[in-house]
Amino acid sequence: MTIDQVSWMFCVLAAMIAFIIFFKQKNIISCSKYKRILPPGDMGLPLIGETIEFFKAQRKNRLFDDFVQPRITKYGNIFKTRLLGSPTVVVNGAEANRFFLSNEFKLVISSWPSSSVQLMGIDSIMQKQGEQHRCLRGIIASCLNSSGLEALVPKICNTVQRHLDTHWQGQDRLSLYRSAKVLTFTVVFECLLGIKVEPGMLKTFERVLEGVFAPAIRFPGSRFSRAKKARQEIEKLLVKVVREKRKEIMEKGGNKEKEEVGMLLSQLVTGMIRGDVTEKEVIDNVVLLVFAAHDTTSFAIAMTFKMLAQHSDCYSLLLQEHVDIKKNNKRAGEILTLEEVKKIKYTWQVARESMRLFPPIFGSFRKAVADIQYQGFTIPRGWKVLWTAYGTHCNEEYFEDPLSFNPNRFEESIPPYVYLPFGGGPRVCAGYQLAKLNIIIFVHYVVTRYDWSLIYPNESITMDPLPFPSHGLPIKISPKL
Ligand code: HEM
Ligand SMILES: *[C@@H]1O[C@H](CO)[C@@H](O)[C@H](O)[C@H]1NC(C)=O
Ligand SMILES: *[C@@H]1O[C@H](CO)[C@@H](O)[C@H](O)[C@H]1NC(C)=O
């Protein structure tokens, strides 16, 4: 054989080997494609799938009992279904929570309905990933670090006291849920952002929020159209506020006033001047923060009071805690300090237990950005994943006697990814600290100043799709002497 022949044969051989390897690999791939096991479950009707069953259960606030639990019993902790046109895998349990929440950006990304995205704006933090997400979270977090919280406490105390003076004084009954909403709105705007609330603002914002989960169809008078219009009004107002703040900061130059430190709008606008943040990002995130804080904090407050009304032994303990704090508080205007708020431990246990049983956000949707292998199943790229707080909150494996109200269970620390009213992973609630202060401080001034009782002790909870007390939790109040 000549050298040429040898090299030719060598080439053929190499090509054959490559060919075999190629097909073997292709085989492996197609084999694994064939072997790909989807989670068990029923996809329901074409297109709509099981959406109707889901909404029916949701409306009655029986999403867990009527939708999730029966499917867990039938298929296990991971099951597939089809919701709102998308194939969806519902995942339950601490291990699944850890896997999906901590793999945000890598395997899954958060996935909101089109109306939410359009109304919050594509530049809100919930649409951001990677560096941009980190930057925005950093700005929010810098307002809620230890010095930020220290400055927030007296502001929230003043706001709560002013709220009680204007909305509670002279009344003998009121809607606690409504009151909590007005208060939360004011706390986010005036205490966190540093923007003065003008008359009519709350109404306009609430019109936006009403459209967040409505179908994204625009015809005159539809919820979504009204929300879109309200959003434009808000934009006009906020653009003015942002530009004024920009001018103010530019004029003041380097020496910002001390009271400005920690106000979120100033931080965002400062980021804008640095060139890290755009004007649209500032506006979209202000709208998002209101959305994130509004119904959630108000519902947590409402459920805390509902539980206190139904468990008088817990109420006595809680009341004692606040009477003790008040007794030792000699400050003008009865303003609390962060130090004191940190000592109000039992109240936070009560609030946490209320959120365990009534999570303001029961879970949220993610979208798989790659084929995901999890516990022997494949979740194909493009499918939705729904993690739920119910999957652990209502499971006796994690909480003994899960349906009973027992704040003492929070005396022990809870393992990670078991208790998640605030979510987890890189998208864990950015306003957790503010929500905590808001709830504790509101409870403090209400229970030390008023006797109160529920008008409908058995008031039901509805979801649309966020949960709320169906009559707004009306209460009877009388000032303490
Ligand atoms: C009791 C009250 C609250 C509850 C139960 C709550 C719950 C949650 C949950 C579960 C998430 C994660 C959603 C997901 O993973 O898709 C979240 C995210 C978020 N929350 Fe809260 N929240 C509350 C109050 C607040 C407040 C007062 C603020 C701010 C003023 C806030 C700001 C945010 C923001 C900005 C995010 C998005 C974080 C990100 O995408 O990185 N929340 N919240
Ligand atoms: C908290 O954040 C502010 C910016 O809002 C910063 O100036 C301050 O140094 C931070 N404080 C601590 C204790 O990290
Ligand atoms: C409320 O519920 C309790 C216990 O579940 C029951 O005893 C009571 O009769 C109910 N009251 C009303 C007004 O429905």
Ligand nearest to the CA of 459: 3
pLDDT of residue 3: 46
Closest-CA residue to 196 (of 139, 142, 237, 251): 237
For residue 218, give the DSSP letter.
-
Among all chains, which residue has been given the structure tokens 């790659």?
370
Distance (Å, whole) CA 315 – CA 320: 9
78 with 86: CB under 8 angstroms? no
pLDDT for the residue numbered 205: 96
Phi, psi dihedral angles at 243 (to 5 degrees): -70, -35
DSSP letters along 86-150, please? Answer: EEEEEE-SHHHHHHHHHTBTTTEEE---HHHHHHH-TTSGGG--HHHHHHHHHHHHHHTSHHHHH
Hey, whose CA ends up nearest to atom 4 of ligand 2? 142
What does the pLDDT look like over 445-469, one tens digit per residue? 999 999 999 999 999 999 988 999 9
pLDDT digits (tens, 9 = 90+) for 234-266: 999 999 999 999 999 998 866 655 556 669 999
Q: Mean pLDDT in the chain?
A: 92
Question: Which residues touch 361 (CB under 8 Å, ≥6 apart)?
Answer: 296, 389, 421, 423, 466
CB within 6 Å of ligand 3 — which residues?
Answer: 457-458
Q: What number does the ligand 1 atom closest to the CA of 101 have?
A: 15
Atom of ligand 1 nearest to the CA of 363: 10
DSSP state letter for 413: P
Sequence-distant contacts of 394-402: CB under 8 A, at least 24 apart: 394/64, 394/69, 395/92, 395/93, 398/94, 399/356
- 169 alpha carbon, distance to own chain's centre: 32
pLDDT at 332: 84
- Smallest-distance ligand from the CA of 262: 2
| Residue among 137, 479, 160, 140 at smallest CA distance from 341 | 160
pLDDT band at 32 (very low <50, low <70, confident <90, very high): low
Give the model's pLDDT for residue 45.
93
Which ligand does the CA of 389 lie closest to? 1
Which ligand 3 atom is at minimum distance from the Cα of 458?
A: 1
Which residue carries 């119904």 as its tokens?
Answer: 295
Give the residue whose CA is nearest to atom 18 of ligand 1.
429
Say which ligand is closest to the CA of 458: 3
Is 80 exceeded by the pLDDT of residue 10?
no
Q: Who contacts 140 (Cβ-Cβ below 8 Å, separation ≥6)?
A: 125, 264, 289, 430, 431
Closest atom of ligand 2 to 261 CA is 5
Q: How many other CB atoms are found less than 10 A from the CB of residue 33?
A: 10
pLDDT band at 27 (very low <50, low <70, confident <90, very high): very low
Residue 13 has pLDDT above 60, yes or no: no
| Ligand 2 pocket test, candidate residues 137, 145, 268, most atoms within 8 A of CB | 145
Using 50, 70 and 90 to split pLDDT, how confident is the model at 29? very low
Give the residue from 421, 467, 422, 122 showing the smallest Cα distance to 287. 122
Rounded distance, CA 300 to CA 356, Å? 10
Q: What is the pLDDT of residues 157-203, one digit of tens each?
A: 999 999 999 999 999 999 999 999 999 999 999 999 999 999 999 99
Distance in Å, CA 297 to ligand 3 centroid: 27
Contact (CB, 8 A) for 84 and 384 = no
pLDDT digits (tens, 9 = 90+) for 357-388: 999 999 999 999 999 999 999 999 999 999 99
User: Whose CA is closest to 187, among 209, 154, 150, 230?
Assistant: 154
What is the reported pLDDT for 202?
A: 96
Q: What is the mean pLDDT of residues 282-309?
A: 97
- Of the candidates 475, 433, 454, the residue with the CA atom closest to the CA atom of residue 187: 433
For atom 6 of ligand 1, the residue with the nearest CA is: 422
Which of 156, 190, 429, 441 to mutate to test ligand 1, by most ligand atoms within 8 A of the CB atom?
429
Q: Whose Cα sits closest to atom 16 in ligand 1? A: 364
Provide the whole-model pTM. Answer: 0.92
Q: Check whether 12 has a pLDDT greater than 80.
A: no
Q: Which atom of ligand 1 is nearest to the CA of 125?
A: 40
3-state secondary structure of 406: coil
Contacts of 237 (CB under 8 A, 6+ apart): 198, 201
Distance of CA 118 to the CA centre of its chain: 18
Closest ligand to residue 147's CA: 2
Cross-strand bridge partners of residue 373:
378
End-to-end CA distance of the chain: 113
pLDDT of residue 145: 95
Does residue 6 surpass a pLDDT of 50? Answer: no
Q: What is the CA radius of gyration of the chain?
A: 26
Task: Give tens-digit pLDDT for 297-335.
Answer: 999 999 999 999 999 999 999 999 999 999 998 888 899
Tokens 């006291």 -> residue = 161
Q: In this structure, are residues 360 and 63 in contact, taking their beta carbons and an 8 Å threshold?
A: no
Separation CA 129–CA 125 (nearest Å): 8
258-292 in b/e form (b: 16+ CB < 10 A) is eebebbbbbbbbbbbeeeebebebbbbbbbbbbbb
Residue 419: phi, psi to the nearest 5? -110, 105
CB of 209 sitting under 6 A from ligand 1: no
Spacing of C-alpha 350 from chain mean position: 19
Measured from the CA of 267, which atom of ligand 2 is nearest? 5
Instruction: Give the model's pLDDT for residue 105.
Output: 97
